[in-house]
Amino acid sequence: MDTHTGTISKSGLNVLKPEDNFRFFCHNTLDCFTRCCHDTTIFLTPYDIIRIKTALGVSSGEFLHKYTVTLIGDLGLPIVVLKMNDDKQKSCPFVTPDGCTIYQDRPWSCRIYPLQPETTKITERAGKKYYSIMNIPFCRGLSEDKVVTVTEWKKEQGIPVYEEMEQLIKKITMSELFSSQKIVNKKIQEMYYMACYDLDRFRRFVFESKFLQLFETDPETVEKMKYDDLELYRFAMKWLEYGLLGQHVLKLKPEVIKAKKEQLRFK
């Protein structure tokens, strides 16, 4: 234990608990201002995309096409990464010399900087969160006088709502189902991508297909999903839980169940 900072030393890494403090302050008079916005990999969460596409006034499909690259992660599920500009600096498309043009709706990874999570599945399940300070040699903000606790920093940066939204997808990605197998089915990958990232397309899927004829859905929820992206996202995560994990978070309508039983009886 470092008695000066209250951090836990682990193999040379200072691990911060929520009550521990660290030194950091970023401002536009530092000579490194916006340098961290170049030549970096920014993974986007589903909530990131909701916030940014709304701020830009574009559909999720437009945003994904113009600003992102899709990769397939270790679980076999799609991961969305912000596409950097094709310039020498590989700059973020939203950064200018004056700062971030979408600062109020910037991604989670930009908000949490200079912290990085050091949690595991075990600590997540125990409800414990740990962080470390990123090793960024050029960052002058780490030498500034402002001292803040991890909890205070997260609150200042608006992190809690991002964590709340992220828990919905973690119910799926942290499932034991994915510890023993990798998703290779293209249709499942596409289903996951649509529900997580392309919410406007998922909305069309819900309202322009037979979806609502199959599942019992509260009329108030249905009405909200027409215009409320967060309500739609919560519903999309339930759909993934139902489809991928077999959780009974959605219920088929009685007549649909009856029809399926009839089909099986005559086979």
Q: What is the pLDDT of residue 84?
A: 97
Q: Whole-model pTM?
A: 0.88
pLDDT tens per residue across span 153-175: 999 999 999 999 999 999 898 88
Query: What pLDDT shows up at residue 7?
Result: 45
- Show me where the domains of the chain are located: 8-169, 198-265
Give pLDDT tens digits for 8-63. Answer: 444 445 889 999 999 999 999 999 999 999 999 999 999 999 999 999 999 999 99
Q: For residue 255, count CB atoms less than 10 angstroms from its CB and return exposed for 0-12, middle for 13-18, buried for 19 or more.
A: exposed
pLDDT at 5 (0 to 100): 45
What is the pLDDT, as a whole number, of residue 174? 85
36: nearest Cα among 54, 47, 45, 24: 24
**Residues in the chain, pLDDT under 50:** 1-12
The alpha helices in 2-149, defined as continuous H runs, are 46-56, 60-67, 108-112, 121-125
CB 142 within 8 A of CB 136: yes
